[in-house]
Structure 1
Amino acid sequence: MSFAAKTDELLNLARSRAPADRERLLLAIVDLCDAGDAAVGLMTSQPVQALLNSIFMSLVVEAERDIRRRLSEKLSAAAWAPPALINVLALDDIEIARPVIAGSPVLKDHDLVRLLVEATIEHQIEVARRPDIGPPVVAAILQQSEPAVLTALAGNASAALGAHDLERLVEAAERHAAIRSPLARHPALSGDLAARLYLWVGQAIRQSLVERFRLDPAALDAALAASVREAHAGAAAEACEGRTLARDDEREDMERRLVAKLSAAGQLRAGYLLRALKEGRLPLFAAGLAALGRFEESQVRRALDSDRPELLALACAAVGIDRSAFPTILAMVRDLNGGRPGGGSEGARRASGAFGPFDANIAGAAFRQTVNPG
């Protein structure tokens, strides 16, 4: 079909009010995304752009979810995509919005800042993960101080983070444990900031900081001991600790709400648990594991804090996690949980036996029976 004929076909479909024609129009645009330079010329022509910009809002709202998802995937790298369409897709359900938030060149800093203000936490996290986000976006993330979004920003090595921005993340890491692990790996972290971060992280992260920045562990451990003594010295420190605990409680409540939302939408999967650990979000991992396995959160927490990693292995087997993935999960949990569950390498060896030749229901029943006291 010639360029002119294709243009006429798109214009005719765009003018039609019939739902079937509107769906055909969106599908035609999806197909054009793979058609090369000719498609770019067609889509950037003035009559097509003018008409499509005027009707895209209603088109996308009325389109089926699968079509919107396909549009988002296909248009995520298209510089010619109409800005109105991209912004609508970016505010859609997170599974639809994720590709355009992650990669659309049409989204500018002000669009991303608007997402941080108007969209859900999941959308904000995707903004913080977007490659090469600029200083205005970084500033907006830091100003809002949402822990989950700060954690995603700390793990974004390509974000435009200045020394002051990293300092603010280190300050936030004192209050929010999830930020510490990705921040410790950030390539722009300085030795001075690493020394401050050392005081709040677990043993495994401390060792990596010592090796990377050639820190003096004896001096840092002495500083840590001094800070602990100061923390217990008076009523003011005790009140501060109470406020920190309250913030931690708020954080865990937020994680539970996120898990409940994902579960209700049928989006909670075993793979999400590994992602939570990679982001340093142990409360989210615990809440997700409990929801997937229909366990009590107290049971999961008991397994995490025990000296028997086989309990955690049984819970993981019950939700479909593979034996091969468990050593990684155990290492990350120990890193985030002060070395627990304990048991060392021998405990890890015992844990592999939890992935025996039995189905998930049996593993779940064994977990409930074993983890309960008495």
Structure 2
Amino acid sequence: MSAVVQLRTSTQVRGDRAPAPDLIDLARSKTPDDRQRLLMGVIALCEAAPPATALAPALSEIFLTLAAQAEREIRQQLSERLAGVDWAPPALINMLALDEIEIAAPVIAASPLLQDAALLRVLVETTLEHQIAVARRPHLSGGVVDAILDRAEPIAMTALASNRTADISETAMNRLVEHSRRIAGLRAPLTRHPRLSETLAQELYQWVGQALRQSIGERFRIDDRLLNAAVQDAAASASRNAAWRSLPITGRKTEDRERQEMERRLVDKLQSAGQLRPGILIRALREQRLGLFEQALGQLGGFTPAQVRAAIHAPTAEPLYLACTAVGVDKAVFPSLLVELRKLTTGLPADGGWTATPMNSSSAARAFRQMMEKPATV
């Protein structure tokens, strides 16, 4: 009865045009339909004249009691209508945030009454979909950010990396960049994140694909040599785990200066006649003329012999892929070219793969030179 009295007083004091007598009659009824009608009527009443302060305890009790008994569809409507208000009972908002994700999502995304303690409870007690919703919440606090990183759910961290308004500290950004080493989905949103520093960008540069490397370079305008240092560090780490192998003698003798000179003259002649084309690379390999392949690739791309040999010695085929893309080798042809090359070099480049990122020849040439500015000595 006290709740009914509070409801009557509330409506009379505010002069609300809602049918207060009807609501009071509904409050006396115990049927599910009437209780749901009462719930929606009270919401409409508050929306018409929002309380200046938090709802009185009796009215809050009405909300909580009715919401707990409401059908799923009613709870979903309740969540949607209360998501943006500041007068709803916090206990009700917290209850809705723990409900099914379709019901919880609106209040998790927008309710100003959902505090950090409630968000941390959502992270611990609910589903992965709830965690993702929390990670996307605007203006997420640093404490909740750290809790998401502690749980280390890849999809939730990816959602967090896409949240531009979250309070992500430098330490948290460092943790995200480190996670991106194994979680590819983090890399693109981190590349675009406003809190990515130049130092972290250089670290991220080591394991993103070529398109993202180009994006990092364009965003920070970092000197190529600084970006190359990151690549060289990664290459040095790879070489410690799987030592770079020297080219075998088969197919090429370093002391055969005359043969090298002959191949150089042939490439120069083809270049002068306008006949030096990417097709000569496959032809040279099929004829087991590794020196001709190196000379032609260098001439076509304007690469130094050291850069070409470093690409062949690399622990991954990515530098060679970039060099070939730069000179016009189609990405569909590259796998065949690589097979022929490895026949002559007992498996070089090593087993690491490459990222077949679509790019034009100039972008590929720039990326290749960034990698090979300090080629390994052979």
TM, length-normalised to structure 2: 0.57
- Show structure 1 runs of 5+ residues with no match: 237-305, 309-336, 346-374
Q: Counterpart of 1:138 in structure 2: which amino acid? A: V
Q: What residue is the counterpart of 1:18 in the other structure?
A: 31
Q: Secondary structure at the match of 1:151?
A: helix
Q: Secondary structure at the match of 1:40?
A: coil
Residue type at the aligned position of 2:223: D
Distance 1:97 1:169 in 2: 26
Superposition CA RMSD, Å: 3.1
Please tell me whether the aligned partners of residues 76 and 102 of structure 2 are also in contact (alpha carbons under 8 angstroms): yes
Partner of 2:11: 3
Letter in 2 for 1:52: F
Question: Match of 1:146?
Answer: 153
SS of equivalent to 2:190: helix
Match of 2:63 in 1: 52
How many residue pairs were aligned?
241
1:205-244 mapped onto 2 (5 Å cutoff): 205-221=212-228, 223-231=230-238, 233-234=240-241
Q: Secondary structure at the match of 1:175?
A: coil
CA contact (8 A) 1:113 1:137 kept: yes
CA distance in 1, matches of 2:356, 2:77: 43
Residue from 318, 321, 338 that aligns with 2:355: 338
Matching residue of 1:127: 134
In 1, are the aligned partners of 2:135 and 2:159 still within 8 Å (CA)?
yes
Partner Cα distance (1:18, 1:343) in 2: 67
Matches within 5 A, 1:1-374: 3-4=11-12, 9-10=22-23, 12-32=25-45, 34-35=47-48, 38-40=49-51, 44-53=55-64, 55-56=65-66, 58-60=68-70, 63=71, 65-221=72-228, 223-231=230-238, 233-234=240-241, 338-339=355-356
Q: Is the 8 A contact 2:39 2:66 kept in 1?
A: no
1:306-364 CA-to-partner distances (Å, cap 9, x unmatched) read 969xxxxxxxxxxxxxxxxxxxxxxxxxxxx9345x6989xxxxxxxxxxxxxxxxxxx
Choose between structure 1 and 2: higher helix proportion. 1
What one-letter code is carried by the residue in structure 2 that aligns with 1:120?
Answer: T
Question: What secondary structure does 2:41 align onto?
Answer: helix
Distance 1:144 1:47 in 2: 39
In the alignment, the residues of structure 2 paired with residue 109 and residue 49 of structure 1 have an alpha-carbon distance, to the nearest angstrom, of 21
**Residue deviations 1:43-94 (CA, integer Å, cap 9, x gap):** 82443224433x145324xx1x332221111100111112222122212222
**8 A Cα contact 2:108 2:114, kept in partner:** yes
Contact 1:202/1:338 (8 A) holds in 2: yes
Change in 2 beyond 3 A, CA 1:70/1:57: closer
User: SS of the counterpart of 2:30?
Assistant: coil
Specify the code of the residue in structure 2 equivalent to 1:18: T
Q: Judging changes above 3 Å, is the alpha-carbon distance between structure 1 residues 32 and 338 closer, same or farther for their aligned structure 2 residues? A: farther
| Structure of greater Rg | 2
With over 3 angstroms needed to count, the CA separation of the structure-2 counterparts of 1:11 and 1:193, relative to structure 1, is farther
